[in-house]
A and B are shown apart, each in its own frame.
Chain A
Amino acid sequence: MWQNLGVRAMLVIVPLLFVVCLPILFMVLAYILPDSSIKDMQQMRILLSERQSYMNDRQALFYVFSFCLAPMLYLIVVLMTACVTAASSFVGEKERGTIETLFLTPLTTREIFRAKVLGCTALSVVASLISFILYAIVMSVGDILLGVTAFWADPSWAVMFFLLTPILILFGVLFMVLVSGRSHSFRESVQICGYVLLPLTLLYVGQFSGFFRMNAGHYILLSVFLAVMDCILWKVTMAHFTLEKMLG
């Protein structure tokens, strides 16, 4: 999997871009922009609660990024790494013709399925952990520079990382396995992962528009929902995981 340049790019460049470069850009912008150049800050302050009323415009801008946009960027990284690793492992092997050889071994279909799913999940968890650590470092620096506690004061990050991340990764992997029979190439299957990213993006568009505010409780509910979906998807994908179906 790591030999594929496309996979390497997606597992390294995209997370770096989303959880390191973009936050740094926001942090620098919030730090260096003079107050008078931040327009429509009152509109953005609607997204803040009473507890953040003490913040000046720069601090508020950074906090809005941390609260409204950054979780979406992080979860996109999580879901994308899951989809890309699964696409490479399932559809990529189909493309390279090695999936048939794997089915010719004395391993049962269940063993192959479990090994691949758990392998993709483990790799995605490691990538997400590294992304989270890098993001936490960047946000901590931002908090110190701007004199706020945007990141560490928000408990929803703990729920997002410890509970939602592994469940979402498993969901992404199983979804890609389900669609792998219909995909004929790695590239095609990665494009299909857009269907999974869209609901996530819409969720945060709703938050950014001020319709609602995601908190730790919402992330817990989302995790429970996805965990139930994971159980269903596990049974369905395992039942449909045959070479004949994989090859379409």
Chain B
Amino acid sequence: MNAIITDRLTKSYDHTTNALDSLTITVPEGKACALLGPDGAGKTTVVKLLGGLITPSSGRCMVMEIDPEKNPARLHSVCGVVTPSAHLYGCMTGRENLAFFGETAGMTASDAQVRAAELMKDLGIWQARETLVRDFPSGVMQRLSLARALMIHPKVLLLDEPFQGLDPESTQAVLGLLTGLKQQEGLTILLCTHHPAYAQLLCTQFGILREGVILAAGGTKELCRKAECSIRAGVCLPEQDSLTGFIKGTDGFWQKQIEKESDMPDLLREIVAAGHDVYEAHLYRPTLADAYTALLEKEESR
């Protein structure tokens, strides 16, 4: 079953320009998909439409076969949503906030407390349980928001910039939790972010969004092919040495594009045969970040 379906989903806030234009995507159940894009690309709009917070101008969407526009309350019993604009109650502690939102979802007070404790420990914020939320640093607040969305054991998670304000350790903790939930509980994740590196750690399918339109979609290899990103060979030489036809990168390696990985040994043999001392060799495989940057630059230059 497809957990998330959008069919020519369009949203305009001012009846003039489309914040989202004919978005058509599907996310199978149990998979993680990321929508990447710069600020103003329409990522938040996608999350709000799928989360039932706003209504589409045209087109339709379904989450777990529930129409977010017609049945948002039922949707929110199976779908957790994290957006930067959805805040928690500053006058309550972290634990009280989670217990409150758990009880609004129909949990008993004791079940909500147990679930709140479990999530706070998994996300590494248990020590802040009795602190008022208004005194939380941004990273702790962000993790608490994620905990709120996970209180109901959702089947689908819609995340809008969940890594904002997190340090590398906290990001790893969040990624670890989400990966575990995806594998063990079959959680479907739609991640909207402008951090391709984090998206690549969690998701397998990606869409690149710009000004409300999908530029390209697919796995990492497919996006790299569409972006025409190629493999590069890199060699580290003595400081006074150089190579013709190569470009020196910021990491000090002399780099050159090659067709395929199997071209690397022949290239190294040529360099050594030409009398160069090779200290280190490295194969630069294109990453999602490379494809993302290349596709955006290509679109901007049009």
Q: What residues of chain A have their CB less than 8 Å away from a CB belonging to chain B?
A: 3, 96-98, 100-109, 111, 243-244
Contacts and interface: CB of A to CB of B under 8 A. Distances in A.
Contact of B72 (A98, A100, A103): A103
20 contacts: A97-B85, A97-B86, A97-B87, A98-B86, A98-B87, A100-B83, A101-B101, A102-B104, A103-B53, A104-B53, A104-B86, A105-B104, A106-B74, A106-B77, A106-B105, A106-B152, A107-B104, A109-B72, A111-B73, A243-B54
A242 B101 CA distance: 19
Considering residues B74, B89, B105, which has the most beta carbons from chain A within 10 angstroms of its beta carbon? B89
A15 B44 CA distance: 44
Interface string B71-84: 01110110001010
Interface in B220-254: none
A105 B55 contact: no
A244 B90 contact: no
Given A3-B91, A244-B55, A105 B85 contact: no
Given A243-B53, A244-B53, A244-B55, A108 B86 contact: no
A240 to B, nearest CB: 13
A109 B148 CA distance: 19
A107 B106 CA distance: 9
B30 interface: no
A100 B85 contact: yes
B72 A101 contact: no
Contacts of A104: 51, 53, 76, 81, 86, 149
B148 A101 contact: yes
A106 B76 contact: yes
B181 interface: no
B88 interface: yes
Given A103-B52, A106-B105, 5 more contacts: A97-B85, A105-B76, A106-B104, A106-B106, A108-B72
B163 to A, nearest CB: 19
Contacts of B89: 96, 98
A115 to B, nearest CB: 10
A101 B51 contact: no
A233 B77 CA distance: 30
B116 to A, nearest CB: 15
Contacts of B72: 103, 108-109
A196 B48 CA distance: 35
B88 A106 contact: no
A6 to B, nearest CB: 14
Contact of A106 (B73, B83, B91): B73
Interface in B145-184: 148-149, 152
A32 B86 CA distance: 59
A111 B85 CA distance: 22
B73 A101 contact: no
B47 to A, nearest CB: 11
Contacts of A109: 72-73
Interface centre among A97, A104, A108, A109 (most CB of B within 10 A): A104
A31 B66 CA distance: 71
Interface string B200-236: 0000000000000000000000000000000000000
Contacts of B52: 103
B91 A101 contact: no
Contacts of A102: 104
A162 to B, nearest CB: 34
Contact of B53 (A3, A97, A100): A100
Contacts of A96: 87, 89-90
A98 B88 contact: yes
Nearest to B54: A244
A105 B91 contact: no
A109 B51 CA distance: 14
